[in-house]
Structure formats: C-alpha cells, structure tokens
Chains A and B, each alone.
Chain A
Amino acid sequence: MTRPQPVIGRDNAYYWEGVAKGAVLIQKCTACGSLRHPPSPMCPECQSLDWTTVKATGHATLHSYTICHHPLPPWEEGPYAVVLIDLEIEDSDRRPRIVCGAKGIANEDLRIEMPLSLVFENGLVFAGPAREGGAS
C-alpha cells in the first residue's frame, strides 16, 4: 500500500494545486475579507460565494502534534509525526491552521510554539526547521 494521495474535488482543488506548485493557499472571502480553512464554497461570516486565495508566507508555528506509533502504515518506516501548524499570512493577524507532515525534525525535538518553515515534496506540504526568509 502506498501513501494515500489527496482527495481533490471542485471545492478544494485550489488548495492541492497550490501545494503541488509549492504554496499553501488559504481561501479569502472577496466580500468581507475573512480567511477560512479547510475549504468551503460559502463564507461563514457573510455567506458570500465569491472568494480568492492568499498565499501563506512559509513561516509557521507548531500548534500541536502527535507521533504515530501504531498502526504503522506500510509507507512509513518508524514512528512519524503529524503536525498542526499556525500559518503566517502577510498583512494579516489571522493565523489559519493546516495539518501536515514533518520533515527534518526529530520527533523528540517537537515543541509546541516552535517556529517552522514549509517544505514541499511530491505534491504534499511538510513542516521543517525554521529558516530565514520563508519557504517560497
């Protein structure tokens, strides 16, 4: 069994297409400017169906994490981390969250609130050690 691929539909294609090109895009309501993730066709703040996207800067902080030991999926070689991260968005004080994998950080070094940078690989996004100047 290989690693599952993203499930892509009309409502969320922008997200996975962005990740495949090396950017995390967050939905932004054109009418009221609020940000939302995961994707949804309608703005929960003002019910507008009009939206655009903003690109995460690549800086993030660790909101939470788990280290999965069992069951170990066949595509993993040992205990692996899954992280929940707060994304920095330019010119916004909002910090939308995404779930992703971790890359280049030992499981035991994960600390909530630690700075991270986004890393893109094989159509997926991962959190790696913080770098200067963002990830993209």
Chain B
Amino acid sequence: MKASLSGATAIVGIGATEFSKDSGRSELQLCLEACKAALDDAGIAPRDVDGLVTFSMDSSPSIMVGRGLGVAELRYFSLVDYGGGAACATVAHAAAAIAAGLADVVVCYRAFNERSGRRFGSGDAAIQARGESPMAQHFGYYSPYGLITPAAWVAMAARRYMHKYGATSEDFGRVAVAARAHAATNPAAWFHGRPITLADHQSSKLITDPLRLLDCCQESDGGVALVVVSAERARDLPGKEVLITGAAQGSAHDQQMMTSYYRDDITGLPEMGTVARQVWSQSGLGPDDIQTAVIYDHFTPFVLTQLEEFGFCGRGEAPDFIRDGAVHLGGRLPLNTHGGQLGEAYIHGMNGIAEAVRQVRGTAVNQVPDVHNVLVTAGTGVPTSGLVLSAA
C-alpha cells in the first residue's frame, strides 16, 4: 500500500470539558468549550479553523460550531457514521482532507449529555426504531425479543467466545480491573481514587449474562475535541508534534450494526482486522512497536478480541496475554492509561485519542516511559476505525 497519508498530518491540540453525570449545560456548549480548549492547546486562533468533523450521531451541527468559534469560512465538514466506530475516523477524515488540500486546520469533536440526556443503555433507540428504513428493519429483528441494549448485543458474541476458547468472566474482569487501576490515579477520571478488585467484578450484578455491571463502560456527560493540521504546520507550533502515522476505517464481510451474528465465526471482529492491516501497513509498524494502546472499552470482552485482531496475541489467547498484568502500568502493553471508558469517562472514544496524544507528548498522568507509538481504536461491534500516533 502507498503510505502517502502516514506522517503527513499531526494532532496539535486536545481539549475537553470536565467529565460528569450531569453537565448542566447544552451539548452545543460542551462542544464549543472542548473545541476552544483544543485550539488554545494548539496555539491556533479559532478564526483559522476551516474544517470540522464529527459523528453522524452528534447533535452539534458544524455550522453552529463554526459560528460559535467565529471561524471565517469552513471548507471541509464531514460526519462519520456508526456510533463510536466513528471516533478515530474523525481524525482519519481530517488527515485525508488536509493531505488532499481541502482544509488546513480541522477540528474533530464529540460532545454529549449521554448520562443526563438520552442514555444509550436504555434500549429506547432500538425499541422506537420504526418506518421503512433499512436500519429500522435491522433493529426490528431484535427488539421484539428484547435484544435492545449495546450490552446485550455484545454479550451474544461474548458468550460464543467463552464457549470457543474457554474464556471466563474473570478474563473479562481483568480488563476492568486494569482500567479502574489507571482511573484511580487520574484526577480527570470519574472513578479517580476508586480502584476495584477482581472479586468486586465477580460480585457486581449481572446486566446481560455473561456481562456484569463492571464489564460495562460508564455513561457520561462531556466533550472532547482534537485539532489536526499538516505535519509541516505542526513544526511551527509551540507544542510537541504527535504525528498521525496510521489512520483507517473498516467494515467487513456481512457487517451488521452491533449484531454481526451471521458470519461463520462470530468470535472475531474482522472489521477491526481491516483497520489493523491498514494502520500497520501505513505506519510500517507492528504490535512490537507499540508501547501503550487505547483500546475501545465500551464492554470488556471486545478488548480481548481487539488485542487478537491487531496481532498482540493469537486467536483466543487474549485471556492469557492479559492474565499476569500485561495491560497494567509497567506491563508489556499498558492499556487505557487514562482509565478508559470504564474508568475515566464514556465520550464515545474521543477521550482515548486525547490520552494517546498525551502519551506521545509525555504528559499523561499515568505516563508510560519512552513512548514512540500509540495505537488507538474506536467502537466495536460496528464499522470502526483506528489510529497510530507517533513521536516525530
């Protein structure tokens, strides 16, 4: 593959609101606060922004964000589909636009009141899907039977993974224990100062068997924004460059929205395999070159699957890979050092990209030594995306 995108652009600013359960303000305001913070971090004036990218699910229209920021003109604006699968793709779209000359300064954003407003875990969206649209018909294969929550959609695949590979609930629990350990020392995390044990995980209530409460990410209010410019422009800015060396989206054979149950084998995430092949090829890197990773953790079982898709271990081997602390600080591959969406906040994956930037800059609260390259992934069970961020 021609690696024209790799290293051509950089993330030069990150910004966020506080992460809470009730922000007390509008999603648009959260968005604008995060965007302004990211631009301040980058040292770029808001009027210089000429591109905006967000999720198709986001409620803040690019023109209202542009108006609030006082941008002179927008030359590139794009929405990425499929829920949390869009997170890293916002940066991929920004990088592609800048590399193609369609924009110079692109802000990627996601902001919502996901806890105090519409809660994804309620099942309401699936229940209320109606009409002739293909996606409404899709949800209609499941809602009459009560398969209506993201946790339940993941649980169906997780149960088969357990059957095929002999994985246990404790194997899932170790992912949560690591996340909460990292959140415990991150003052920005909702679960700051509140680590859990594997016993806590095992005694947490069943949400949708085999998933327990502590296998499930939080519900959060907040916003995160990222500023992307060319690598050339980044060199003239005050901060340390964080190069985008891999950026890709992926959807695979017989892809469904959260219910890819019709493939011969439902224990993998081949759409993430599509992402993995691309980001490794673009960056010229592989699993051994990654010092720390932010692996999308809406539900713990798919963290294991993603480690397998990226080749950190073989199929079905992730439970062994993580068993002895490999994903904790000091381990072979510290994961989600901000606490992840299980521990810091659920901002649809965007807070994880910010953490990856901090790790490359060397400014994370749970800093991993000598970080050169960080892998970041987006939402799983859906068409998804990923990034490799690297030091210059």
Nearest chain A CB to B328 CB, angstrom units: 29
Number of interface residues of B (CB under 8 A): 45
Find out whether the CB atom of A82 lies under 8 angstroms from the CB atom of B262.
Answer: no
User: Does B363 have its Cβ within 8 Å of any Cβ on chain A?
Assistant: no
B79 at the interface (CB under 8 A from A): no
Write out, one digit per residue, whether chain A residues 82-94 have a CB within 8 A of any chain B CB (1) or not (0): 1010000000000
User: Which residues of chain B (324-375) have a CB below 8 Å from chain A?
Assistant: none
Q: Name A6's contact: one of B122, B123, B140, B254 (CB within 8 Å).
A: B140
Give the bracket for the number of chain A residues in contact with chain B: 35 or more
B63 lies within 8 A of chain A by Cβ: no
A132 within 8 A of B: no
B274: which A residues are within 8 A, CB to CB?
none
Known: A69-B207, A97-B261, A99-B259. A4 touches B147 (CB 8 A): no
Q: Is the CB of B144 within 8 A of A64?
A: no
In the assembled complex, A109 has its CB within 8 A of some CB on chain B: no
Q: Are B156 and A38 in contact (CB under 8 A)?
A: no
Binds A, one of B36-44, B128-136, B384-392: B128-136
Assembly CA distance A71 to B143 (angstroms): 13
B160, B208, B259: the one within 8 Å of A68 (CB): B208
Would you call A97 and B145 a contact (CB within 8 A)? no
Q: Which residue of B lies closest to A68 (CB)?
A: B208
Interchain CB contact under 8 A, A69 and B205? yes
- Does A96 interact with chain B (Cβ within 8 Å)? yes
Q: Which partner residue on chain B sits nearest A76 by CB separation?
A: B146
A67 within 8 A of B: yes
B127 in contact with A4 (CB, 8 Å): yes
Q: Which of A82-132 contact B (CB under 8 A)?
A: 82, 84, 96-101, 107, 112, 124
Q: B127 — nearest CB in chain A belongs to which residue? A: A4
Complex Cα distance A97/B261, Å?
8
What is the bound-complex CA distance between A12 and B140, given in angstroms? 10
B208 x A38 contact (CB < 8 A)? no
Inter-chain contacts of B232 with A (CB < 8 A):
none
- Chain A residue at smallest Cβ distance from B154: A66
Decide if A64 touches B259 in the complex (CB within 8 Å).
no
Question: In this assembly, does A33 line the interface, its C-beta being within 8 Å of a C-beta of chain B?
Answer: no
- Judging by beta carbons under 8 Å apart, are B155 and A66 in contact? yes
- A101 nearest in chain B by CB position: B145
Q: Kindly state whether residue B45 has any CB partner on chain A within 8 Å.
A: no
- Which residues of chain A (24-76) have a CB below 8 Å from chain B? 37-39, 44, 63-71, 73, 75-76
Q: Are B144 and A5 in contact (CB under 8 A)?
A: yes
Residues of B within 8 A of A10 (CB): 132
Nearest residue (CB) in B for A6 is B140
Whether A7 and B130, one on each chain, are in contact in the complex, defined by CB atoms closer than 8 angstroms, is: yes
Q: Is the CB of A112 within 8 A of B140?
A: no
Minimum distance in angstroms from B158 CB to a CB of chain A = 8
B contact residues around A67 at 8 Å (CB): 206, 208-209
Nearest CB of B to A127, in Å: 10
Q: In whole angstroms, what is the CA distance A37 to B261 when docked?
A: 10
Decide yes or no whether A133 CB sits under 8 A from chain B. no
Q: What's the Cα separation between A79 and B146 when bound, in Å?
A: 11
Distance in angstroms between the alpha carbons of A64 and B160 in the assembled complex: 5
Chain B residues with a Cβ under 8 A of chain A: 121-123, 126-127, 129-134, 136-149, 152, 155-157, 159-160, 163, 205-211, 254, 256, 259, 261-262, 266
- 6 pairs across A/B with beta carbons < 8 Å? A6-B144, A9-B132, A39-B137, A67-B206, A100-B145, A101-B144
Q: Besides A7-B143, A65-B159, A66-B156, 14 other CB < 8 A contacts?
A: A7-B129, A12-B137, A38-B256, A39-B137, A63-B266, A67-B206, A67-B209, A68-B147, A69-B206, A84-B156, A97-B262, A101-B144, A112-B160, A124-B144
The 6 closest A-B pairs by CB, nearest first: A7-B140, A66-B155, A64-B160, A67-B209, A4-B143, A101-B145
